[in-house]
Amino acid sequence: MKIKGEASKNEARDALKSALRTFVKAYLAYNPAVSGTDKESMGLPLHDTARTPVPPPSTVESLTQSAFDTHSPFTLTFAENQRGKALYFALHWENAKGQAGPWSVIQKAIIA
């Protein structure tokens, strides 16, 4: 059972922590006027100032067949004996340089 004074003390401490986090983020951690040495001495993390380039994916998806198309619509043709079978697919966009974006969630369709 919590005592009323203890609950008030905990609420005040939580409010102070939140206010301090906001202050540190706004005025210290991401402030370019605060040197890296000062941030390190305050125990703050040192953040990169330049974006790190992300290379195109280098792993192969576990789908057994793949096809690529640069124009819509993309049409698949199936044999009559494939009717009723499941088809799993995932999509992703590529930019003009051929760099691929993230894959979508794998979807399932029944061949009609």
The pTM score is 0.39
Q: Taking residues 37-59, what's their average pLDDT?
A: 82
Residue 89 has pLDDT above 90, yes or no: no
Residue 81 has pLDDT above 60, yes or no: yes
At residue 95, the pLDDT reads 82
CA distances from 15 to 1, 10, 22, 23, 26 (A): 22, 9, 11, 12, 17
Residue 92 — very low, low, confident or very high, per pLDDT cuts 50/70/90?
Answer: confident
- Between CA 100 and CA 23 the distance in angstroms is 39
* 3-state SS, residue 32: coil
How much of the chain, in percent, has pLDDT values that exceed 70? 91
